[in-house]
Amino acid sequence: MIRRVTRRWLEEVLTSVPGKRIAVLSNSRIADVLDQLADLLEFQGANAFRIRAYRSATRAIRNTSTSIAQVAQQHPKNLTHIDGIGKSVAEKCVELVQRGSLDQLDQLLRQIPKSVLAMLRIPGLGPKKAAAIYQQLGITTLEQLREACEAERIRTLKGFGPKSEQMILKGIGLAERAGKRIYWAVADQQVQQLRDYMAGCHAVQQLEFAGSYRRGKETVGDLDLLVVSEDSTRVMDYFGRFPDVADTIARGETKMSVRLGDGLQVDLRVVTSRSFGAALQYFTGSKEHNVILRSLAKKENLKINEYGVFRLEDQTEQVVAGQTEADVYNVLGLPVFPPELREARQEFQWAARNELPELVTASDIRGDLHMHTTATDGNGTLEEMVDAARKRGLDFVAITDHSQRLSMLDGLDPKRLLDQWSQIDQLNDQLDGDFLVLKGIECDILENGDMDLPDEVLAQADWVVASVHFGQRQSREQITSRILGALAHPFVSAIAHPTGRLINRRDAYEVDMEAVLQAASEHGKLMELNAHPARLDLNDVHCAAAKELGVPIVISTDAHSVAGLDMMRYGVLQARRGGLTASDVANTHTWAEIQQAIGGKR
């Protein structure tokens, strides 16, 4: 399925409220389907008014906390009461919820080669340009498109040029990856729905998900579901009736593979209770982790596979472990590694030194230091964001709306920023010490390296997070120099989303992260781990590098809505993959402790 990832797209995932019936579609899924319909209509050159209506509707659906599916099931006439949803779109929502598909979309998908849809995943290409390439050059696959760009045939089309070819070439790799892997946050939604559904099967004794999902990788290619049961036929029959199953790929005695409506493959394996731990360890992986584990086992005359741990004696195999993961690891004198660490990086060395880190948890987080309000491009007022943070048990937040360089987002100039800070002072007086709202700003690092606001303004801030939004195609030296300059700036507290990547959409800009982390260490500055599932920036490897240098990480949501505050857990998961403990993460501490770490109040 084609997804148009907007700033609030994954925040909407958090606001979808699945009912007890698993057939209830999330708002994000409904919006995805309507977005695909609009893409294909635009691809075919349909009426622009109809296309705009669908685009407006998808924005409305993603920005409402009301479950569209529940309204469509219970009070369908009320759908048109939601701003942005007209009669035609309301009918489409009802049809989608009742049938699980749209007849019009099905017809369009039969008319357009499936391989052509991959071109719509190329950032910046768009349905109209994709249609021109398809209709005028007969290109139907990404490989054909790559060859045409390399042969300089694309630039011969009206509206295209050499820069277009380079943009397409760069985007093909992203499109290929986007078609194979989805965000962990999206996979997690499917996991929770499957958990709820499978709980209704009385033949299931135990259930767990494995694979890259369990290890918390930022993207997931498929799901591995392990079930303990004495009646595999009953379990697989029940699994096959999951409402979102589009087709069954394969089925055997104990294994079944299906494809869900959004294309995600789910592999079900039914195992015995005596081998569940071994299967869970084996299918969780990673492959590299398992290779080392099996090598260690071989030295002890043991064999480990998905069925258990076996001791080899006189050409016979005796089962010595397998019921739990703890049994599997303990038989080799190893701790149970947190799944997030099972990547064959440092986990075995840590275990050998008895230094396996106690990883940070979501409950350790005390504050959120990056969020936006309606003052710029946020969807919640200052008061709404603060109230939501308090209800989530936080002790403090920093309001960090955009600075003036982002004029299209109504970025704050000095006067408006100082006015906002005055409002924050008044709000803190009302809170009477029960909660602290920090006067912050997300200040752009300009293309020439200067900060976007004058020093006399930044000096009054509690928290300044510096970011690169423009000039991302500058050279490695230029971008690195800009960030190093910001780290040396006396009023900058941290660097936001330090590599600028958008997973499956935009590669990281060229930057020398080794130099950046070294500078952060020297200047006593923090590096942000942006928790938005489309960013997760820093990545896990850079988090580990920061830990080695003693650079504190601040996990921030970059929330643009109340629902966005719940994305903190995705950042925590990424931090765990980097081996971070609570002491490595700045916002597990009090504001006074953070303030001391960054040199006191500015």
State which residues form the domain around 217.
183-271
Instruction: Give 389-395 contacts, CB < 8 A, sequence gap 24+.
Output: 389/435, 389/565, 390/435, 392/565, 392/566, 394/365, 394/366, 394/367, 394/368, 394/435, 395/366, 395/367, 395/435, 395/436, 395/590, 395/591
Calculate what percentage of the chain has a pLDDT beyond 90: 66
Q: Say whether pLDDT at 59 is over 90.
A: no
In a domain, 345, yes or no: no
In a domain, 350, yes or no: no
Question: What is the C-alpha separation between 119 and 113, in angstroms, rounded?
Answer: 11
pLDDT digits (tens, 9 = 90+) for 387-422: 999 999 999 999 999 999 998 889 999 999 999 999
Residue 219 and residue 102 share a domain: no
Give the pLDDT of residue 594: 94
Of 309-313, 486-490, 564-568, give the lowest mean pLDDT range: 309-313
Give the pLDDT of residue 65: 63
Residue 366 and residue 287 share a domain: no
Residue 581 and residue 540 share a domain: yes
In a domain, 437, yes or no: yes
Average pLDDT over residues 206-221: 96
Can you list the positions of beta strands (E) in 400-519?
Answer: 436-444, 463-467, 494-495
Classified as helix, coil or strand, 488 is: helix
Question: What is the C-alpha separation between 73 and 82, in angstroms, rounded?
Answer: 15
Tell which of 122, 144, 178 closes a domain.
178
Confirm if 120 and 2 have CB atoms less than 8 A apart: yes
Q: Measure CA 309 to chain center.
A: 35
Give the pLDDT of residue 179: 60
CA neighbor of 253 nearest in space, from 268, 242, 238, 243: 268
Q: Tokens 């109230």 appear where?
A: 387
The pLDDT mean for the chain works out to 90
Question: If you average pLDDT over each of 8-12, 89-93, 229-233, which comes out highest?
Answer: 229-233
Q: Say whether pLDDT at 115 is over 60.
A: yes
Residue 196 and residue 295 share a domain: no
Question: If you average pLDDT over each of 1-10, 239-248, 459-468, which comes out highest?
Answer: 459-468
Task: Spell out a b/e string for 200-218, using b for 16 or more CB atoms within 10 Å of the CB, else e.
Answer: ebebbeebbbbbbbbbbbb
Residue 333 and residue 254 share a domain: no
Give the pLDDT of residue 99: 83
Tell me the backbone φ, ψ of residue 398, rounded to 5 degrees. -115, 130
pLDDT digits (tens, 9 = 90+) for 508-520: 888 999 999 999 9
Average pLDDT over residues 33-53: 87
Average pLDDT over residues 259-268: 87
Q: Say whether pLDDT at 375 is over 50.
A: yes
Give the pLDDT of residue 433: 84
Residue 465 and residue 325 share a domain: no
Return the ∠ at Cα 442 (arms to 440 and 444), rounded to 5°: 140
Give the pLDDT of residue 262: 76
Residue 148 and residue 54 share a domain: yes
Calculate what percentage of the chain has a pLDDT beyond 70: 94
Domain tally for the chain? 4
Residues with Cβ within 8 Å of 478's Cβ and at least 6 positions away in sequence, in order, are 471
Give the pLDDT of residue 354: 95
In a domain, 602, yes or no: no
194 or 505, higher pLDDT: 194
Tell which of 221, 242, 271 closes a domain.
271
